[in-house]
Amino acid sequence: MDNSTCQAYQDEISSLEEEIKLLAGKYEDNQQESTFFSDEEILMAMKSFKEEFRGDYEGYESPSDLEAQLESLEKDLSFVMKFTGLQFTSHSKKTVERTGNRAVQKHRLSGNCHSLSFQLEFQLIEVQNKDKVSVVVTDLSIILESGEDSDVSKFVSNVEEHGNLLMFFRSLSSYAQWCEHRSSTFLHFKNKYPDVVALPEGRQGDCLTLRSPAASRLELLIVWKLHLDEDGRTTPVLDLLTKVPEQVLEQNTATVGKAPAHFRSLLLLFGIEAAIENLIRAVGLQE
């Protein structure tokens, strides 16, 4: 056996001896820790755990009671989801720090609210002080599929800056409900007046076009915007734009010019759906 081979074996033996010493030290430490508690103390601890475990389920006489409670909670959750339109499709969390009374978790959350999809990523810092727990949201990042709406972008930026998740979900629910209401209204008139009403941007767009069968070049455009301010309040803003042939414009300049103001008056008097319906009838578009 040459010297190099012999040296390799000696190195391997030395490594194994070190590992044996390390394991022996851990075994001694475990043995010493186990002597800190007597058999009586261990039995008392087990008894206390069992009593605590029973206390968690006190009041439930059988598994059927637990099933009834679970069913009730599921019904409550279903009601909240229907009421707010919020549905969570995925959630993951990872503890990135835990020291003493402080814990930091990273959360990823995705879901949808009516027709709007969203993704959230944030850190949750939880600090336990005596009987009080304080929670702070940091590093909040939001992706909301709502097109290039500048109002929505400003609102999202404001929420991210302040880490206000409650305001985000509350405002998202209201905004998404308005989006759904606008979409349903547009679709209703499209189905009711298929030869008159057109949706150039689809049912999720913000405009509805009316074309007169009698005057093919006469066109009215109803624009329905949803203004979302930085505090999360949603306000519907509707306006009427006109596209009129030159001959008609020359003869009815005053009437055409007053059309947007008349439409705004209809909105105040009758509301959105009735105002659109009356506009259709007023210009003689109903067959």
Residue 230: the pLDDT is 85
Q: Which residues of 74-96 are buried (b: 16+ CB within 10 A; e: fewer)?
A: eeeeeeeeeebbbeeeeeeeeee
Residue 34: the pLDDT is 47
The mean per-residue pLDDT over the stretch 223-238 comes to 92
pLDDT band at 253 (very low <50, low <70, confident <90, very high): low
- The amino acid that residue 45 corresponds to is A
> Is 262 strand, coil or helix?
helix
Residue 144: the pLDDT is 86
Provide the percentage of residues in the chain whose pLDDT is more than 70: 68
| Conformation bin of residue 3: beta by default, left when phi > 0, alpha when psi is -120 to 50 | alpha
Residue 278: the pLDDT is 86
- Segment 175-224, tens digit of pLDDT: 999 999 999 999 999 999 888 889 998 888 999 998 877 665 678 899 99
The mean per-residue pLDDT over the stretch 73-91 comes to 78
- Segment 121-162, tens digit of pLDDT: 999 998 888 778 888 899 999 998 765 678 888 899 999 999
Class of domain 75-145: alpha beta
More confident of the two residues 52 and 282: 282
pTM of the model: 0.68
Please determine, for residue 275, whether its predicted confidence score (pLDDT) is greater than 90. yes
Domain ranges for the chain, please list them: 75-145, 176-285
DSSP state of 24: H
